[in-house]
A = this chain, B = another copy of it.
Amino acid sequence: MPAAAAAPATASGPNRKDPRRRVLDAAARCFIRGGFHATSMHEVCAEAGMSPGALYRYFPSKEAIIIAIVEEERSARSALLAHLDSSATLVEALTLMGEALFSSDPPMVCVELGPEIAAEVSRNPRLRPVFDEVEDEMDAAFLRALEAAQARGEVDPALDRDHVMLMINALGDGIMLRRRLQPELPLAQMMPQIATLIGRMLAPPAPSVSSGASR
């Protein structure tokens, strides 16, 4: 029985001990397959190997499960920002973040559910605070890194930081969206070249003095 990690998660395996986790994982798989509103609780129960009665001991409603999943997605994505502080350059950080995002197997929930979550957050006010809290934090972290990169000369100081941030955020979201539409894209491999393109966009216009961004 080698297929234990991505198995349908019946009542066997190490997750026997954490029913909440089991429900969340099962729900994520179902939601990826069918979306939030086209997935029934019975499906989630079946995927989790659990009866409705048992499941409702751990979550008061379907919406609570959705909120918990969005919460986890957000913090997973937020964790990627650690690369911003541990990398020498912004471009290197973006490369690492992208590779981490797209090389994970099974694919990360935030990659698979990105568009679904965006659509849901934009219309369900109960999800807004959950989403925004992390969003603001991420924006702040990125803004700091961007400012540092400008001070360092890696990024053109003349650039409007809000515009740059919108571009990078949009690119990230957009790539996840396109991955849903074309799962065969070898995104992890493409990250270095994509990050290089971003680097060209942000770099100061050809300086007469080549005091470069190199070490």
Chain A interfacial positions (CB closer than 8 Å to B): 33-38, 115-116, 118-123, 131, 135, 159-160, 163-164, 166-167, 169-175, 177-178, 180-181, 185, 190, 192-194, 196-201, 203, 205-215
Contacts and interface: CB of A to CB of B under 8 A. Distances in A.
Contacts of A198: 201
B197 A201 contact: yes
A170 B171 contact: yes
Contacts of A123: 33-35
Q: Is the interface of A mostly helix, strand, loop or mixed?
A: helix
Contact of A177 (B135, B170, B192, B203): B170
Q: How many copies does the complex hold?
A: 2
Given A35-B123, A163-B190, A177-B170, A200 B197 contact: no
B35 A193 contact: no
14 contacts: A35-B120, A37-B38, A115-B115, A118-B180, A163-B194, A166-B185, A167-B197, A170-B171, A196-B215, A199-B213, A200-B200, A200-B213, A212-B212, A213-B214
